[in-house]
Amino acid sequence: MTRKKQTQYSGIGGQAVLEGVMMKNKDKYAVAVRKPDGDIDIQVEEYKGVCGDKRFTKLPLIRGVFAFIDSLVLGMRVTMHSASFYEDEEEEKNTNKPEKAQGSKSDDIMMGFTVVLSVLIAVALFMMLPFLISDFLGRYIRNASVIAILEGILRILIFVGYIAAISLMKDIKRLYMYHGAEHKCINCIEKGRPLTVKDVMRSSRQHKRCGTSFLLFVVLVSVIVFFFIRVDNMALKLVLRLLLVPVIAGISYEIIRLAGRSDNIIIRLISAPGLWMQRLTTKEPDEEMVKVAIASVEAVFDWKAYLKETFGYEVDDSWLE
């Protein structure tokens, strides 16, 4: 049977971690990490979200806020897990399982603190800093519309500059290679190809449902929102920028959610800036990285059943040679 050429939504997503990939399918996720000895460690767990299956977390706009929080919490959890394989050998030898169990509560507290701190830094860097700079320029430029446009341009430049700067770091480059492997696996499946190293390697490393695209949408949506919502009071301006962050995140989530399920010309145009940004946040992986990503997918997703149900054909052993 001939394959459908159009991309079909699979429902799986993930992220790159230190020397590995996390893949999530519904409430189940797997972290595959290439250990220092060369073996691949795979951990499979469940994560139902900070509020579980509450109905209000599924409402449009609101669900985007909870999806963002969940991605931060789960992202921090799997990153800490992957990093644990590269701790000092002496520390690993002196750490036994009972001690880890006792420290789990303090680890959760530390993880929560780190997530909150990360959000605060992001808001300060990408929301407040452009506002403060544009407010300073407002002493010399009296046109409110020009100031609003300058704030938006500054926000975009700071975001793109930050992404470009960290991409130059050696460790981040390897992380971006695993990021590329994650995207390639999802694209491979959603294009109706068997999940083999060969087919994954020839798939695109850019994907419309990427976190990079989401963050860029947050920046772009904030530019539009703050252009039309203006007040004169300085304190109120600051408060509005903080209060509107969840609203902006909710709108951005709905856009990227729609992009992941549609493929018309309008969606392609809207997705183009995010795909361009992924040229910075993804790199071409090697085959060993792709094997790690495949292991993560297969731990939580039956891609053979998906291809049969969605594209109408079965994968036999000859495909996998």
pLDDT in tens, 20-30: 999 999 999 99
Domain boundaries, the chain: 12-88+111-313
| C-alpha span between 125 and 75 (Å, rounded) | 20
The H-or-E segment that residue 45 falls in is strand 40-46
151 within 8 A of 134, measured Cβ to Cβ: yes
Are 268 and 14 contacting, i.e. CB atoms less than 8 angstroms apart?
A: no
Q: Which pLDDT score is estimated for 105?
A: 59
Distances in Å between the Cα of 256 and the Cα atoms of 1, 260, 275 are 32, 6, 12
pLDDT tens digits, residue range 133-161? 988 888 888 888 898 899 999 999 999 99
CA-closest candidate to residue 189, choices 27, 39, 23: 23
pLDDT at position 249 is: 92
pLDDT at 320: 58
The letter for the amino acid at 1 is M
pLDDT in tens, the chain (321 residues): 444 456 788 999 999 999 999 999 999 999 999 999 999 999 999 998 888 888 888 899 899 999 988 998 899 899 989 988 887 444 555 555 444 444 455 666 666 677 677 778 888 888 889 989 988 888 888 888 898 899 999 999 999 999 989 888 888 999 999 999 999 999 999 999 999 999 999 999 999 999 999 999 999 999 999 888 888 888 888 888 888 989 999 999 999 999 888 888 888 889 999 999 999 999 999 999 999 999 999 999 999 999 999 988 787 665 555
**CA 86, 89, 95, 96 torsion-angle sign:** positive
Report how far residue 7's alpha carbon sits from residue 175's, in angstroms, rounded to the nearest whole number.
26
**Structure tokens given for 132:** 């403060």
pLDDT of residue 315: 76
Extract the tokens encoding 39. Answer: 């073996």
